[in-house]
Structure 1
Amino acid sequence: MTRCRLCGSATLASVVDLGATPPCESFLAADQLDRPEPAYPLHLRVCTDCWLAQIPPLITPEETFKEYAYFSSYSTSWVEHARTFVADAAQRVGLGPDAFVVEVASNDGYLLKHVVDRGIRCLGIEPSVNVGAAARDAGVPTLTEFLSPDTGAAVRAEHGPADLVVANNVYAHIPDVVGFTQGLRALVADDGWVSIEVQHLLTLIEENQYDTIYHEHFQYYTVASAIRALASGGLALADVELLPTHGGSIRLWARPAEVAGEPSQRVADVLAREKAAGLQELSGYTEFSARVAKVRRDLLRFLIEAAERGETVVGYGAPGKGNTLLNHCGIRPDLLPYTVDRNPYKHGRFTPGTRIPILPPEQIAADKPDYVLVLPWNLRAELVEQLSFVHDWGGRLVFPIPELSIVEVAS
């Protein structure tokens, strides 16, 4: 990477280098285990002009998202998060019976199904063929396509402008920030709203959430850098919300620049927090790499010592973030013999790079391990409740992020 993808600056500073790993969602079938597996550098840098944190676009969205392993509906808390958002957004934006809602990267229809239930016209734009098909099966109209300025214009011409455009957990996933933002502007009505949810770089840095750095996340936003990204497509930030999702996210409420008006006090407050944390100067980034190294050492020490005591540790979940963690730490089946996942798509497959088997969740109760390493740590409250049954045999949960913690669960 030689230039910033947002502002074109050549002044990019290293934040953390995680080595080379396979794409985090490229789960292996059994017949692929004897084949070569490509790995790509995973090196986060920050632009010292616009302060957009970014990794090089070494893989394309087409490689990642045409067939995708992540189905949003398998997370109970995420479906509830979407339901609450739709209810709140309907009131905030004033979505009446004649409204039109578009969601970009709509996955399996987990959010738009709540729009359909309200009788509001909607359309999902989802590039992954398999999850888009699941959305259509669930009654959510879905276009299999990547968003670009041309796609946005074509949808607008066919369906009309959208009163609300939703883009949750996708603004980090596209290397062409400017073109994608122009696509959002093409979709939204001249007096409409755009709602974007994306992980907050502030919490990523503060909470050691380095496992959310992976190849399909091309950039990592502060509110300050998001304002510049939105402006590149003719949008302006009107308001922001701080969310607990994904370990700490921001919900950006944007509008066409001509009607956005002055941003809310909440925008000013978050910008002040980011500045106080040093995220508009190099000082805010310099210690991150050392703290990442400590997370790795602590987790490996725990796993090695447990193995030497003859104790069993298995995994829970096979999220993309888990594969960054497993590969960076060099964890193999000798330390983690398997992990489980609720998504049947992943059963019988193996984690990329580390080649750890993925089994159905029922395997934990059958084997009664001493410890369960929770890889989707961002769902901690949900999973502590879901996994409370490990208390029956004295098992404990292990969370690796933001620092190693071992949790006794109540029955």
Structure 2
Amino acid sequence: MKNYKNDKCRICASKELEEVLFLNPSPLADNYVSKSQLSDKQELFDMNVSLCKQCGLVQLLTVVEPEDIYIDYLYKTTTSVGLPQHFVDSALNIIKKYNIEKHSFIVDIGSNIGSLLHGYKNFGMKVLGIDPAKDIAKEATTNGIETLPIFFTSLTAQSIVEKYGKAKVINSNNMMANIDKINDLVIGIKVLLAEDGVFVMETSYLLHLINNMVFDTIYHEHLSYFGLKPLQYLFEENGLRVVDAEIVDTKGGSLKCYIEHDKNQKISQNVFDIIENETLQKLYEKKIYQEYQNKISKQKELLVDSLQTIKKYGKKVFGYGASNTTTTLLHHFEIAKYFEYIVDDNDIKIGRFCPNNHLPVVSSNVIYERKPDYIVIFAWRFADVIIKKHQNFLDNGGKFIIPLPKYQEISC
């Protein structure tokens, strides 16, 4: 599998990079394999996280070629609890905030199956999706959202302008973090964006990744972990400007930015307040990451000690959630050996095997057939939903373990 390691920051090209967070090597997080692929070698890639001392970008330096990740991508936005409704609400809010007229041209970069664009389309907009996952793009197009199965670059932006015109609104949700050549992407956004248009992006927020203990969202799809400060630098260097920003709850805490052409001078106080808070929290200093590393190690110790005791007494343990984050947890915590199955409710994952350790992924119905004593909820941000769905497991004497943000055991 093609990969390379950067020796300079992907935003500002500085070579003043310092490793600040150390995670165990991991395979591609979403590379859940079929039975016929079990004999194929799955590479492990470096997962150490570096801080740029110049612009403040926190980043993985090891990059796997995007074609190896996205062409046969499995993830669909509909599998994330609450995300489709969040997208509908987001479309309506943007239309209201910017008084977007009907029939305006809206583009979503990294559109997946078109959940966000369906919201815009229902409000009378002309929409176009862009997503390199060919099967997902085909499904979206079949379901009424024209989607181009391409990677978005400055060159493809120009071809879109020539065919469709410039966009009043460009969206990207949880996409910016996945791009290595990020300056070229921003140049493409500038090319595609109408002079009075707005680019609205949402990405996992670095400060919340730390404060909310969502370190399991660190994996090779996510190359960058953004605070607002480096994003402001990125856009201004490319002729755009962050004019507003807000913190939202999705994905364990996300940053939503509104970006316009730099001729638009007015900047919301929100932008200054968020950056000031990042400075107060010392987000761009090494110490906060050393403390975070210690917290991660403590949670690992608690979970491993518990699993060792459980297995010592011959108890049966399943995991719940076959997601990208599960791959990070299994590898950094080194706990795959304690599990018999990973259960999931996503038909795409059921019948496959976890990356590298090849734990079988089965339907959650297997809980009641094989009767585990404990279930570790790897999809811990959705623990309430999972526990409610499987109250019968608790009623029959089973116990749930929630590994993050703090170790918990749940029983009747």
TM-score range, shorter chain: over 0.9
Q: CA deviation at 1:45?
A: 0.5
Distance in 1 between residues matched to 2:207 and 2:383, nearest whole Å: 20
Is the partner of 1:285 in helix, strand or coil?
A: helix
Is contact 2:20-2:286 (8 Å) kept? no
Partner of 2:247: 242
Note if 1:96 corresponds to 2:113: no
Task: State which of 272, 275, 279 in structure 2 corresponds to 1:271.
Answer: 275
Asked whether 1:127 is paired with 2:132, we answer yes
Preserved contact between residue 224 and residue 271 of structure 1 (Cα < 8 Å): yes
For the 8 Å contact 1:316–1:340, the answer to whether it is kept is: yes
Query: How far 1:381 moved relative to its partner?
Result: 4.2
Distance 1:263 1:381 in 2: 39
* Cα offset, 1:310, TM superposition: 3.0
Tell me the residue number matched to 1:319. 323
Q: Secondary structure at the match of 2:178?
A: coil
Partner residue, 1:69:
74
Unmatched tracts of structure 2, length 5 or more? 1-5
- Structure-2 change in CA distance of 1:252 and 1:381 (3 Å): farther
CA gap 1:385/1:52 in 2 versus in 1, 3 angstroms: same
Question: Bigger CA drift: 306-315 or 122-131?
Answer: 306-315
Structure 1 CA distance for aligned equivalents of residues 333 and 210 of structure 2? 19
Letter in 1 for 2:27: P
Q: 1:374, 1:401 → 2: CA distance?
A: 9
Provide the C-alpha distance between the structure 2 equivalents of 1:364 and 1:83, rounded to a whole number of angstroms.
34
Which of 299, 323, 345 is the matching residue for 1:342? Answer: 345
SS in 2 for 1:42: coil
SS at match of 1:5: coil
- 1:7 equivalent to 2:15? Answer no
1:37 maps to which residue?
Answer: 42
Cα separation, partners in 2 of 1:5 and 1:393, compared to 1, 3 Å: same
Letter in 2 for 1:88: N
Contact 2:46 2:62 survives alignment (8 Å): no
In structure 2, give the amino acid aligned to 1:303. L
**SS of the counterpart of 1:339?**
strand
Cα deviation, residue 214, structure 1: 0.7
Q: CA deviation at 1:67?
A: 0.6
Question: Equivalent residue for 2:359?
Answer: 356
Partners of 1:168 and 1:114 in 2: how far apart? 14
What does residue 399 of structure 1 align with? 402
Q: Secondary structure at the match of 1:46?
A: strand
Residue of structure 2 in register with 1:215 after alignment: 220
Q: Secondary structure at the match of 1:240?
A: strand
**Equivalent-residue separation in structure 2 for 1:397 and 1:67 (angstroms):** 33
**2:196 aligned counterpart, secondary structure:** strand
Superposed displacement of residue 228, structure 1: 1.3
Give, in whole Å, the separation in 2 of the partners of 1:86 and 1:363: 38
Helix, strand or coil: the match of 1:19?
A: coil
Q: 2:168 aligns with which of 157, 163, 169?
A: 163
Deviations 1:2-45 (A, max 9, x none): 21111111111111121321111111211222332211111100
Contact 2:63 2:180 (C-alpha < 8 Å) held by counterparts? no
User: Please, what TM-score do these two structures have when normalized by structure 1?
Assistant: 0.94
Q: CA RMSD in A?
A: 1.7
Is the contact between residue 86 and residue 115 of structure 1 (CA under 8 Å) also seen in structure 2? yes
Correspondence for 1:184: 189
- Residue among 303, 307, 320 paired with 2:307: 303
**Matches of 1:165 and 1:387 in 2, distance apart?**
40
Distance in 1 of aligned mates of 2:399 and 2:276: 40
Q: Distance in 1 between matches of 2:233 and 2:387?
A: 39
The equivalent residue for 1:328 is 332
Q: Is the 8 A contact 2:63 2:223 kept in 1?
A: no
Structure 2 CA distance, aligned partners of 1:12 and 1:38? 25
Give the secondary structure class of the aligned counterpart of 2:290.
Answer: coil
How far residue 311 of structure 1 moved from its aligned partner, in angstroms, is 2.9
C-alpha contact 1:57 1:175 (8 A) present in aligned 2: no
Which letter maps to 2:234?
A
Shift in Å, 1:273: 1.7
Write the distance in 2 (CA, Å) between the matches of 1:211 and 1:88: 30
CA-CA distance at 1:103 after TM superposition: 0.3
In the aligned structure 1, how far is the partner of 2:197 from the partner of 2:388?
39
Cα distance in 2 for residues equivalent to 1:64 and 1:203:
26
Superposed CA deviations along residues 253-305 of structure 1, whole A, max 9, x for unmatched, are 1111112x232122222112211111132232222222222222222112221
- In structure 1, what is the equivalent of residue 3 of structure 2? none
Superposed displacement of residue 138, structure 1: 1.6
Matched, 1:198 2:203: yes
Q: What amino acid is aligned across from residue 75 of structure 2 in structure 1?
A: Y
1:58 equivalent in structure 2: 63
Cα distance, 1:201 vs. partner? 0.6
Conservation of the 8 A alpha-carbon contact between 2:20 and 2:49: yes
Q: How does 1:346-385 map to 2 (within 5 A)?
A: 346-385=349-388
Segments of 5+ residues of structure 1 without an aligned counterpart are none
Q: CA deviation at 1:101?
A: 0.8
- Aligned with 1:295: secondary structure? helix
The one-letter code sitting in structure 2 at the alignment partner of 1:372 is I
Equivalent residues, number: 407
- Residue 287, structure 1, aligned to residue 252, structure 2: no
- Partners of 2:197 and 2:386 in 1: CA distance: 37
Q: Which moved more, 1:392-401 or 1:8-17?
A: 392-401
Q: Is the 8 A contact 1:330 1:354 kept in 2?
A: no
Q: Deviations over 1:328-359 (max 9, x none)?
A: 12222x41111122221211111112211111
Q: Does 1:153 align with 2:177?
A: no
- Offset, 1:408: 4.3
Query: C-alpha separation between the residues in 1 aligned to 2:19 and 2:248?
Result: 27
